[in-house]
């Protein structure tokens, strides 16, 4: 998956991954994809709920070596 912007929140606890993702999303144009990296297990539920709440598209979610990766398309 090719991301237009990468938001690295590894080592940060919630709500920081969402705070950083929101700041990045505000700078994006529709159709762009943001990759959010997190090591916080709570971000799995939190980020999925946040994306749904703000009516954006969660394209993909995966875990690799303890890092949660979320791909969000701005609508």
Q: DSSP characters for 18-66?
A: HHHHHHHHHH--TT-EEEEEE--THHHHHHHHHHHHTT-EEEEEEEETT
Q: Is 15 a catalytic residue?
A: no
SS3 16: helix
Instruction: Please tell me which residue in 14, 28, 54, 59 is annotated as part of the active site.
Output: 14
Q: Which residues are catalytic?
A: 14
């Amino acid at each position: 998956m090719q991301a237009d912007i990468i938001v690295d929140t590894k080592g940060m606890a919630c709500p920081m991954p969402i705070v950083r993702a929101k700041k990045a999303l505000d700078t994006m144009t529709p159709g762009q994809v943001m990759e959010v990296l997190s090591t916080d297990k709570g971000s799995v539920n939190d980020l999925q709920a946040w994306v749904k709440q703000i009516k954006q598209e969660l394209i993909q979610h995966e875990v690799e070596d303890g890092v949660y990766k979320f791909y969000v398309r701005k609508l």
